[in-house]
Amino acid sequence: MTHKQVIQNYTGHVNPSRANNPGLVYDIQPEDYIPYLCGLNYTDRQVSSILQRNVNCSAESRIPEAQLNYPSFALTFSSFQPTAQTYTRTVTNVGEANSSYVVKIVPPPGVDVAVEPSKLDFLEVNQKLQYHVTFSRQNSTTNIGVVQGYLQWNSSRRSVRSPIAVILR
């Protein structure tokens, strides 16, 4: 099973009426890609062409693809490098003001998943909050291959699911 198939498995069927009012969204703007594109060693000219404005990669930080503000997580753990990996995501409340979301975690087998904070309290519409997810390969795992799970933010009215795909080597 490929990462793409795993991600498709856990995003679920789209319900059009709910899609019009999802509660939380993972916003990403063209500028958010600058550190990623520069990190791929594209030239200033290439990145500028993509973004339709001047970019100086030497003045930009660099990030891996996994740090882009996507609603999914795809990572790899080697048995030789079981180092924990932490990712930051920003969600925007497009639902009601004064809403709270609590995280539910269904970890991939052989992987520990921790989310901080475990509750997001939004006071207003369009408010943005960050959360951090730390993934750790369990020392005792003998799993090899692709494993999958998800984290889900639940309010009294909505659920927002983020698939997790992990390659264990």
Q: Starting from the edge strand earliest in sequence, which strands make up the sheet with 99-106, in order?
A: 73-77, 159-168, 145-154, 99-106, 119-122
DSSP state of 32: G
Read off the pTM: 0.83
DSSP letters, 39-87, are: HTT--HHHHHHHHTS---GGGS----GGGS--S-EEEEEBTTB---EEE
Structural domains for the chain: 3-27+69-168 (2.60.40.2310), 29-66 (no CATH)
pLDDT digits (tens, 9 = 90+) for 85-124: 999 999 999 999 999 999 999 999 999 999 999 999 999 9
pLDDT digits (tens, 9 = 90+) for 46-82: 999 998 999 999 999 998 888 999 999 999 998 777 6
| Per-chain mean pLDDT for the chain | 89
